Structure 1
Amino acid sequence: MTTRRRARSPRGAGEILAEEIIEAAGELLVEHGDDTGMSIRGVATRVGVTPPSIYLHFADKDALLDAVCARYFERLDDQLASATEGIDDPLERALQLGLAYVRFAVATPVLYRVAFGKPADAAHPSKVDQVLAASAYTRFVDTVTELADEGLFGRDDVNDVVLELWAAAHGIASLMLSKPGLGWGDDFQRAESMLKAVCLGRAVMSAHTDCGDPETARTWLATLRPRQHERQ
């Protein structure tokens, strides 16, 4: 384990120390593969302070984990912003948001698992929930709202569509992490295909409300196949 020798902090350096504690805790999480190997004592040793110094900033291990995961999702928001920069088409933007989410999760498997490993408390939102609500979730809502304005969805369906898109991205990411050998294709090809199916399938269901019935959907799709053959 790496130990940092730390000189006495200057007055007013509490915020700097808190950042070092969060960084050290994140490093230990990645090194151990989960949060069981991360302890307050271990973080204190990594930073070069005593355990009581940690408790001045974080009430307990859970509070520290919450701060680490909140910082993780701040980085996710940066990735989402970068992935959608300059994309004016909201449908393409929705797809790229989902793909960026999946890519980020696959690139940071330990922190991703830890971040979603504890149940949320709706009555007392954690720092993680607050960061997601103010960043990544807002990006999805804004983009899906634009799609609703174009008529792909009803305005009343925005929250439902956001949840479905997020659930799809989360499910894909989780499956890619647990079953990497399933044949996901180069450059996340399978993930992209699945996210397209969610976005476009939801739009079709909104435009053709009867398609919620399997037999009606099958009949409607059959009318499209001759046109596809004609174009080919």
Structure 2
Amino acid sequence: MGRVAQAPAEDVITPPARTRARRGEGERLRDEILVAAARVLAESGSEQAMSIRAVADAAGVTPPSIYMHFADKTDLVYAVCERNFTELDAYVESQLAGVDDPSERLALRGRAYIGFGLDHAEQYRVLFMTTEFPEHYTPEKMSEMAGYQHLVDNVRECMHAGTIATDDPEVVSVGLWALVHGITSLLVSRPSFPWPPVDTLVDHVLATYASGLSRQ
């Protein structure tokens, strides 16, 4: 029985003071700001507690430097989350390396998703558990993200292999995403609830859902 994959915790390192970025270094400065903002967001415990001043101090820049790259704090927070979503996809895919069976890959995908969400709880909460979302994050853009497309492709592979009954792969994929998101969001938002062991819970829910899909 598989175990929930956990992402390695990142070391908290105080960055050295930096000099003003030279011409042509705008992208590097933006990346440094995102790294600092991700660290501050995780340390502060909520997006409300995170401030532009704190991010500027962590990045070794002035607040106006941040506004040169991000319209406001909301824009910065969601840029951090988009980066984290990319890291989530990279992490999940890394857990599938060397696994050829599509059904096993799908189960591992769910466990890795939950494990990563628990290890990055605040970023996960901001990305998936808030009603405030910038206008440029359209449903179309969300559905085009690599992580979602990888899930749909995996579901199609299972259908072609006959381990999942043929159906609309988009519907099945959204159902699976809703399933693992539900587990993750409950564990993140209600950590004090007397949950059964996470591995036991995840194994049971995923196995039950997979059994239902195979009998359709």
TM-score (norm 1): 0.78
For residue 197 of structure 1, report the CA deviation from its aligned partner. Answer: 1.1
Letter paired with 2:72: D
Q: How does 1:78-227 map to 2 (within 5 A)?
A: 78-119=90-131, 124-125=136-137, 130=141, 133-151=144-162, 152-154=164-166, 156-177=167-188, 178-179=190-191, 181-185=193-197, 188-204=199-215, 206=216
Partner of residue 16, structure 1: 28
For residue 173 of structure 1, report the CA deviation from its aligned partner. Answer: 1.1
Partner secondary structure for residue 81 of structure 1: helix
CA contact (8 A) 2:75 2:134 kept: no
Answer with 1 or 2: which has the greater Rg: 1
- Superimposed CA distance per residue, residues 162-199 of structure 1 (whole angstroms, 9 cap, x where no aligned partner): 0111111011112222245534326x122122112112
> Which residue of the other structure, out of 35, 54, 74, is the alignment partner of 2:86?
74
Matches of 1:180 and 1:195, distance apart in 2: 23
CA contact (8 A) 2:15 2:59 kept: yes
Matches of 2:101 and 2:132, distance apart in 1: 33
How many residues matched? 201
- Superimposed CA distance per residue, residues 70-124 of structure 1 (whole angstroms, 9 cap, x where no aligned partner): 1111111111111111211111111110000000011111111111233376974
Partner secondary structure for residue 182 of structure 1: coil
CA contact (8 A) 2:129 2:185 kept: no
CA contact (8 A) 2:44 2:50 kept: yes
Letter paired with 1:75: E
Matches of 1:99 and 1:173, distance apart in 2: 10
CA contact (8 A) 1:184 1:191 kept: no
CA contact (8 A) 1:3 1:45 kept: no
Partner of residue 6, structure 2: none
- Superimposed CA distance per residue, residues 37-78 of structure 1 (whole angstroms, 9 cap, x where no aligned partner): 112222112222221111111111111111100111111111
Letter paired with 1:84: L
Partner secondary structure for residue 43 of structure 1: helix
Q: Does 1:25 align with 2:37?
A: yes
Partner secondary structure for residue 125 of structure 2: helix
Matches of 1:190 and 1:165, distance apart in 2: 15
Percent identical residues: 38
Q: RMSD of aligned C-alpha atoms?
A: 2.4
> Which residue of the other structure, out of 48, 73, 78, is the alignment partner of 1:61?
73
